[in-house]
């Protein structure tokens, strides 16, 4: 339409509000979660490749570079999970009659609770 002024979005739109930066951080930390999955798949592949291949891979994983990478990936994955658990009450509210389960409680029931339960079972299974 003539006369109307169109103001295109800046390519660096994510710098314009702190909320956008937090969003980008949440999305980018997802790559670390994917990275974990790749490491797990490679580990399974090596396991299938025999005892020596697996032992060599474990050797590689215990080098300082890999240890640092794991620490960074763990921090990023925890941050990613926390942001998603914070979003759970918004995306999947639990309605009880006229009331909604308060957000912190919903995050525990739908997010932290199941997470801790599954983690505990896995840790127990591994350390037993």
Partner 1 sequence: MPAEQTMTLEIFRYHPETDSEPRFQAYEVPYDEDWVVLDAINWIKDHVDGTLTHRWSCRMGVCGSCGMMVNGDPKLTCAAFLKDYYPRPVKVEPLVNFPVERDLVVSLDGFMEKLEAVKPYIIRDDVNDTSGGEYLQSPAELARYKQYSMCINCMLCYAACPVAGHEDEFLGPAALALGHRYNRDSRDRGRAERLDVMLAGEAIWGCTFVGECTAVCPKHVDPAGAIQQAKAVAAQEYFRRFAMPRGAKDAGA
Using CB under 8 A as the criterion, which residues of the chain lie in contact with partner 1 when the complex forms?
1-7, 9, 13-14, 16-17, 19-20, 23, 27, 87, 90-93, 95, 97-100
Q: Which is nearer to partner 1, 26 or 70 (CB)?
A: 26
Q: What torsion do the CA atoms of 81, 36, 71, 60 make, to the nearest 10 degrees?
A: 170
- Report, in Å, the least distance between residue 87 CB and partner 1: 7
* Residue 64 near residue 114, CB atoms below 8 Å: no
Q: Cβ closer to partner 1: 46 or 89?
A: 89
Place of tokens 């350390």: 127
Pinpoint the alpha helices (H) of 62-112: 64-91, 103-107
Nearer residue to partner 1 within complex by CB, 6 or 128: 6
């Amino acid at each position: 339409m003539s006369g109307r002024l169109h103001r295109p979005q800046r390519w660096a739109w994510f710098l314009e509000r702190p909320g956008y930066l937090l969003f980008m951080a949440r999305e980018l930390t997802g790559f670390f979660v994917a990275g974990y999955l790749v490491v797990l798949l490679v580990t399974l592949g090596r396991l299938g490749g025999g005892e020596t291949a697996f032992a060599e891979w474990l050797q590689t994983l215990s080098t300082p570079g890999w240890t640092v990478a794991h620490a960074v990936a763990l921090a990023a994955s925890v941050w990613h999970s926390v942001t998603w658990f914070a979003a759970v009450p918004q995306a999947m509210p639990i309605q009880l009659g006229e009331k909604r389960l308060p957000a912190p409680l919903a995050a525990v029931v739908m997010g932290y609770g199941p997470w801790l339960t599954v983690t505990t079972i896995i840790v127990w299974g591994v350390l037993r």
